[in-house]
Amino acid sequence: MLRKLAESMIRTANIVFLTSLYRLSGIFSVGCRNYFMGVYLSGIKRAFARAYHDVVRHHTLQVSAALSYYCVLSALPALIFLSAVMRYIPLPDLFGRVLLMMAQLLPADTMRGVYSVLADVLSAHRLTWLSFGMLGTIWMASAAFDAVIEALDIAYDVDDLRPFWKTRLLAVGLAAISGGLLLVALAVTIVGPRFGDWLAARLELSTLFVMTWPILRWTIAIAFTVLAVEFIYFLAPNVKQRFAATLPGAVLSVGAWIGLSHLLGIYFRHFANYNRTYGVLGGMIAFMIWLYWTSFGLLVGAELNAELAKESKKGSVKPKAIASEQPASDTIDRAA
């Protein structure tokens, strides 16, 4: 009796979730249509051309190098936090599968170093990390997002007048939001194609769902990844913009990240041998190169969003916080 009641509740919750998702997608699609109607084809071409010039003018390659440094400092604290949290997610060996996915992109030397550090830190103190050391771990993991905020302000050509405590709390919030969305994307990817059979049997779904699940799970994973990047673009920089306006840069960033990650994975596995040059630091150098190009893709997407905003009907991107003594010229106006 209880089992039938639980299955009925799960089925009802699934219907409500899908209905809400459908309505939200409709609202989001209307917002995107209204936004892109204000940007003509010639404006899109100008936006791409200006985005290229801004990448050069803002020294985006150098900013990406600085951002990758902060990402390296934050990577292990973030993995420690994930390992502690994933214990409570009802999926077998979820954190181990995350590391296996990382191993497909990064060199074996890098992953050996990651495994060694995590084994030393988490061997007997996983619960201790979750209870006492987690505040410091979250603070360290958010350092990368604090650097992202500053880098996106450069991409949008705005000064960040928000106080330090506000941007730091925003960095922690961005780490939580984007980390949660990426965790969902990872979970959907990791459960594999057989999860569709199990879910269809539990919720009495049609065979069409089972047939489309292998494609659907990758679609969901990519969609949640794009959504995570959109939240970063929407919340991090000190600019007023609509959420739908962040979609083009997020799609470009995620697409570039997926393509570059696979290309770098092939290069690291079959061509590069950093141990001959850097010795024991070879794995870390390869990891920094991957983070470097990941950061570059993120910043290029922001540059594109900023230029598309200038080509919209409003023609400008206004800062969220403007000091009383700041001149009005700090607003980004459309270039003549």
Contacts (Cβ under 8 Å, ≥6 apart) of 202 = 7, 10
Q: Is the pLDDT assigned to residue 83 strictly greater than 90?
A: no
Q: 323: which DSSP letter? A: -
Structure tokens at 286: 């390869």
State mean pLDDT over 235-244. 88
State the pLDDT confidence band at 161, using cuts at 50, 70 and 90.
confident
Per-residue model confidence (pLDDT) at position 194: 67
State mean pLDDT over 304-318. 75
Domain boundaries, the chain: 42-322
> How far is the C-alpha of 55 from the C-alpha of 299, rounded, in Å?
8
Reported as a single tens digit per residue, the pLDDT across 27-47 is 455 555 555 555 566 677 888
State mean pLDDT over 226-255. 91
| Cα→Cα distances 277→114, 198, 212, 280, 282, Å | 20, 49, 47, 9, 7
Residues in the chain: 336
Contacts (Cβ under 8 Å, ≥6 apart) of 205 = 199
> How far is the C-alpha of 157 from the C-alpha of 54, rounded, in Å?
10
Contacts (Cβ under 8 Å, ≥6 apart) of 322 = 161, 330
Q: Is the pLDDT assigned to residue 128 strictly greater than 60?
A: no
pTM over 0.85: no
Closest by Cα among 234, 227, 226 to 170 = 234
State the pLDDT confidence band at 115, using cuts at 50, 70 and 90.
confident
Maximum CA extent, the chain: 71
Q: How many CB atoms lie within 10 A of CB 133?
A: 17
Lowest mean per-residue pLDDT among 4-18, 79-93, 193-207, 292-306:
4-18
Q: Is the pLDDT assigned to residue 76 strictly greater than 60?
A: yes
Structure tokens at 163: 């106080």
Q: How many CB atoms lie within 10 A of CB 91?
A: 12
> How far is the C-alpha of 317 from the C-alpha of 103, rounded, in Å?
40
> How far is the C-alpha of 242 from the C-alpha of 193, rounded, in Å?
36
Q: How many CB atoms lie within 10 A of CB 160?
A: 21
> How far is the C-alpha of 78 from the C-alpha of 56, rounded, in Å?
31
State the pLDDT confidence band at 78, using cuts at 50, 70 and 90.
confident
State the pLDDT confidence band at 334, using cuts at 50, 70 and 90.
very low
Q: Is the pLDDT assigned to residue 336 strictly greater than 80?
A: no
**Three-state SS string across 118-129, please?**
HHHHHCCCHHHH
